[in-house]
Amino acid sequence: MVLLLRLVVTAFAVWLAAAWIDGIEVTSSGHGAGWDLVVLLGIAAVFTLVNAVVKPVVQLLSLPLIVLSLGLFLLVINALMLMLTAAVTELTGYGLTVAGFGSAFWGALLISIVNWVLGGVVPDRRR
C-alpha cells in the first residue's frame, strides 16, 4: 500500500513537471484521457526503478565530483536519471519526453521537491 501511495506521489510530481516545465511532456499513443493515469503511473514506476538501480551506481562512480562540488553534482545526477527515464519510456510509445538537459535539470529539481514535501504526508513502513 505504501509503495502504491509513493508511486502516486511520484506520478503527480511528474505530471506537475510536465505541466510547469517547458520541454517536458507526457505522451501516450492516443488511447484517450483514461489512459493518462496509467501512463503516469508507468512513468513513475520506471523512474522509481531507475532511481533504485542505476542512481546508486552513478553516485558511487561520481563520488569525487560530488565531494568536490559539495553535493551540487547530485542535481546533475538527478537530471540524468530523468533523461534516462525519458529514454526508456519513449521506447514504449507511452512516456516522458524531455527536450534537453536544462528541462531535465529543472524537472528533476521540481520532482525532488514535490516528492520531499508530499513524501512527508505518506506514511512510512517503519511507522
Dist CA 111 CA 120 (whole Å): 14
Q: Is 21 exposed, middle or buried (0-12, 13-18, 19+ CB in 10 A)?
A: buried
- The per-residue pLDDT for 66 is 96
Residue pLDDT tens, the chain, 127 long: 788 888 999 999 999 999 999 999 998 766 555 558 888 999 999 999 999 999 999 999 999 999 999 999 999 999 999 999 999 998 887 789 999 999 999 999 999 999 999 988 877 766 5
**Which helix (H) or strand (E) covers residue 95, if one does?**
strand 95-98
- The per-residue pLDDT for 119 is 83
Domain boundaries, the chain: 21-114
Q: What is the pTM of this model?
A: 0.89
| CA-based nearest residue to 64, from 54, 73, 53, 55 | 73
Sorted by sequence, the CB contacts under 8 Å of residue 42 that are 6+ apart come out as: 89, 92, 94, 95
